[in-house]
Amino acid sequence: MRQLIAGNWKMHGLGADSAALAEGIKAGAARAGGLACDLLVCPPFTQIAAVARILAGSPVVVGGQDCHAQGQGAHTGDISAAMLADAGATWVILGHSERRQNHGEIDELVREKVEAATAAGLTPIVCVGETEEQRVGGQETEVVGWQISGSLPKGFKGVVAYEPVWAIGTGRTPTEADVATMHAFIREELVRQFGEEDGQAIRILYGGSVKPSNAGALLAVPNVGGALVGGASLKAEDFLGIARGAIARRP
C-alpha cells in the first residue's frame, strides 16, 4: 500500500502564496521523477479551485479541510462536499482537532460529514487523537477508540489520521514506540469494526509535528500509512522532504 503524505495548509496563504506553494510542490514532484507515495494538499477553501488548476495533470491531488454535513441549504458561511468536488477537490479532512476544539464538532457530526463527503465522491481523512491531559491520565486508547467508533460510518472507505492533540504545532512527537502502540490499537479497532479485509485496507496516517528530519523514522513505524502535515507543508522543500521519507509497504 502506498503511503499518503497530506498537507494541511490550515488558514494560511493568500492567492499568490498558495499558487507559489502549489507550483513549487508540482515542480519538485516532477523533478523527483516518481515518489514512492501519494501526495495531497488541502488549501483554504478560497484557494482550492486555483490550486487544483495548477496541479491538474500532476500526481498531486487536492482536498478541503472541512465540509458541511448537508448537501445544501440555509447554512451561512458553510461549504458542502459537492462544492468542494466542484472546485476540484477529491479529498477532505474531517474532524480535525482544531474543528473539534474551536467549533465544538462531536463524533456524530463528524460521521455525518463523512457520509456527506463520501456521497459527493470525496475521500475523507478522519482525524482522531487524545489531548495531553487524556494522555497523562492514561486514557489515550479509550478516547481514540470512542472517536473511531463514533466518527466512522458503516462501510467507511477513507483514511484515519492519528493526531495526538499535544503534538500538533508544538514540535513534540510521541516516541516511535508510542506511535506503534497507537497505530496497532487503531488497526485492531478498524478490523473489529469493518472486518479483516476492509479494516486492514484503511490507511492510518500519523500527524503532529512531522518534518523532514523525523519523517523517515515515523513513516517506518508498522501500520503508519503516511503523514498528515501542518506547518511543514507550507514550504515545498519541507513537504517534499517528508515525502522522500515515505516507504513502499506491501499490501
Based on CB atoms, which residue is closest to ligand PEP, 124 or 231? Answer: 231
Determine, following the binding rule CB under 6 A, whether residue 105 of this chain makes contact with ligand PEP.
Answer: no
Catalytic-residue membership of 12: no
Determine, following the binding rule CB under 6 A, whether residue 231 of this chain makes contact with ligand PEP.
Answer: yes
Distance CA 235, CA 204 (A): 24
With b for 16 or more beta-carbon neighbours within 10 A and e for fewer, the 178-198 pattern comes to: ebebbbebbbebbeebbeeee
Determine, following the binding rule CB under 6 A, whether residue 226 of this chain makes contact with ligand PEP.
Answer: no
Distance CA 226, CA 167 (A): 16
Among 41, 190, 228, 242, the residue binding ligand PEP under the rule CB under 6 A is 228
- Applying the rule CB under 6 A, the residues between 194 and 213 that interact with ligand PEP are 207-210
Q: Are the C-beta atoms of 126 and 114 separated by less than 8 Å?
A: yes
Q: What is the DSSP string of 57-82?
A: TSSEEEEES---SSSSSS-TT---HH
Q: What is the DSSP string of 137-194?
A: TT-HHHHHHHHHHHHSPTT--SEEEE--GGGTTTS----HHHHHHHHHHHHHHHHHHH
- Applying the rule CB under 6 A, the residues between 148 and 167 that interact with ligand PEP are 163
Catalytic-residue membership of 68: no
> What residues does 61 pair with on adjacent strands?
40
- Show the cell assigned to 201: 485496507
Quote the least distance from Cβ 210 to ligand PEP, whole Å.
5
> What residues does 131 pair with on adjacent strands?
none
Quote the least distance from Cβ 50 to ligand PEP, whole Å.
22
Quote the least distance from Cβ 98 to ligand PEP, whole Å.
7
Cα Rg of the chain (Å, integer): 17
Taking CB positions, which residue lies at the least distance from ligand PEP? 230
Based on CB atoms, which residue is closest to ligand PEP, 199 or 212? Answer: 212
Quote the least distance from Cβ 93 to ligand PEP, whole Å.
8
Q: Which stretch binds ligand PEP (CB under 6 A): 111-119, 136-144, 179-187, 222-230?
A: 222-230
Distance CA 26, CA 150 (A): 36
Based on CB atoms, which residue is closest to ligand PEP, 99 or 194? Answer: 99
Among 3, 8, 18, 147, the residue binding ligand PEP under the rule CB under 6 A is 8
Based on CB atoms, which residue is closest to ligand PEP, 82 or 229? Answer: 229
In the complex, which residues of this chain contact ligand PEP (CB under 6 A)? 8, 163, 168-169, 207-210, 228-232
Catalytic sites, residue numbers: 96, 163
